[in-house]
Chain A
Amino acid sequence: MSMTERMTGQFIPGASLLHSLDARAKLFGFILLTAAVILADTVAGYALIIALMLLLTAVSKLPVSTVVGSVRRMFWFFVIIFIMNCLFYSAEDPIWSWWIISLSKAGAVQGFNVMFRILIILVLSNIFTLVTPPLEITSAIQSMLKPLKLLRLPADDIAMIISVAIQFIPTLLQEADTIKMAQIARGARFESRKLHERAAAMLPLIVPMFLSAFKRADELATAMEARGYRGAKHRSGKKAAPMPAGSYASILFCAAVCAAEIII
């Protein structure tokens, strides 16, 4: 990624309808729409999800290239997942098989399902983080975790940890893709039929992945401490305002999409 290219999931200020919605409504809507994506398993269900993605992109007024940026960078990751499922899925009725390769309809469907769900959820989480400032995401999670305070659990710290985890996902996925491509260039055999060979190819990815992730964690922790962050309980914050009616309507809309996926 070049220095001028925008980081995946980085908030972009704007005046769209999605920007103006309450962060709590956006988070709840994101959870409902993620459930809808997981529930989708028919052509009509997929069409509904694609239409919804187009609608959300249009309403967010974000450039399409930014919304699908992380997906574009992970193109080969999706291609590898699809091809592996297509060619190596152990189906009972293969269309064509030769040596270790077995092309089947069930494998193609499985590959498409996995690829489609990850792709749409990635776009969905990208839109969510692009239209919601990180601080608002944290307070939205905090308000969702409020009941934990009754049990004297540090709900504010847990909310901060979860919001940082969500923001790390696109970065780590990109990192995983880069490390995987580097290993392929070094001759790793991810496409081997033998389980132990494929597992052996995966193992060299784990250590660099942890080193890179911990390096990022160290940098972020240093930056937070340098700015005086000493834990969520020491932070002051404004009192959460009640959610406006429009935000309730958006939650209802997402719940309707989820219900439609169950019916379809």
Chain B
Amino acid sequence: MAHSEHHTENNSLASNIEKSVEVKAQKCYQCGKCSAGCPVADEMDFPPSMVMRLLQTETPENDEKILRSHSIWLCVTCEMCLSRCPMEIDIPSMMDFLRQKSRSEKKVNKKAKNIIAFHKSFLNSIRFTGRLYELGLILDYKRQSLNMTQDISLAPKMISRGKLHFIPTIIKGTAQIGRIFKKTSN
């Protein structure tokens, strides 16, 4: 608390996080439980406890490292870190904020290209029909990621089990869903 008061003028990432999602990075005392429990920590360039430490330094260089990291996109929001944090720091909410900031500042890590392509395809699908259309999602993702051959053997097996539909369900409120997307576009 005292720390952030000294920095009322600053525009560090930590103070932005505190203002937007009420998560105080300065509370972290580096116990490492988040990184120990994180299922994807070993894939990350900075495991969660290290993201917290970088934030605490409040330097432009370290803020930049976080926004350009692969870590923020690998986080699967399993909520394990928050569940185990002795200081109850809401790292998952913070990660959502960091992902959105990384995109709006055009600092997205290149390795996260496919993860983001998938999220965009997912939202595209519901934007136009109101519900997720799984076949449409897969095809749109292939178009965005250019991974044409991936999961090619999965589709026939899904079809034979009645798990993949050829026609999307379009809800009555599709126009309303379109307006929701429009009003919340950032």
Co-assembled chains A and B:
no
- Residues of B at the A interface (CB closer than 8 Å) are none
